[in-house]
């Protein structure tokens, strides 16, 4: 929803432990926390998270998480869609549970 916080997360493993980088497009990488973007690791969930605060239309697009260590690189895309009305929100978790 517009004005809300979008949260993306991933769990990774590897030896040596990989570096996790979130990005948008080909040139914008998120490397530090700002009032708009937050990057953090949750020990309890053993997961890396990327948050977009106060979402707006400008945040719509494809984001990428890149996992890399000396053995290789894995890149996965994730899409962010910003909507303005609650009825436009799609509950992907409930859709996945039905599959």
Domains plus CATH for the chain?
Answer: 6-98 (2.60.40.10)
With a CB cutoff of 8 Å and minimum separation 6, the contacts of 93 are: none
pLDDT > 80? residue 92: no
pLDDT bucket at 59, cuts 50 / 70 / 90 = very high
H helices within 44-91, ranges in order? Answer: none
Sign of CA dihedral 84, 82, 39, 10: positive
Residue 60 pLDDT: 92
pLDDT bucket at 84, cuts 50 / 70 / 90 = confident
Give 16-56 pLDDT, tens digit per residue: 999 999 999 888 999 999 999 999 999 999 999 999 999 99
């Amino acid at each position: 929803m517009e004005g809300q916080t979008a949260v993306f997360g991933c769990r990774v493993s590897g030896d040596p432990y990989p570096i996790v980088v979130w990005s948008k497009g080909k040139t914008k990488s998120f490397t530090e926390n700002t009032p708009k973007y937050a990057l953090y690791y949750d020990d309890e969930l053993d997961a890396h998270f990327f948050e977009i605060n106060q979402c707006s239309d400008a945040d719509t697009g494809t984001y990428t998480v890149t996992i890399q260590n000396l053995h290789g690189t894995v890149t996965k895309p994730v899409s962010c869609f910003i909507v303005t009305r609650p009825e436009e929100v799609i509950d992907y978790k409930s859709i996945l549970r039905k599959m």
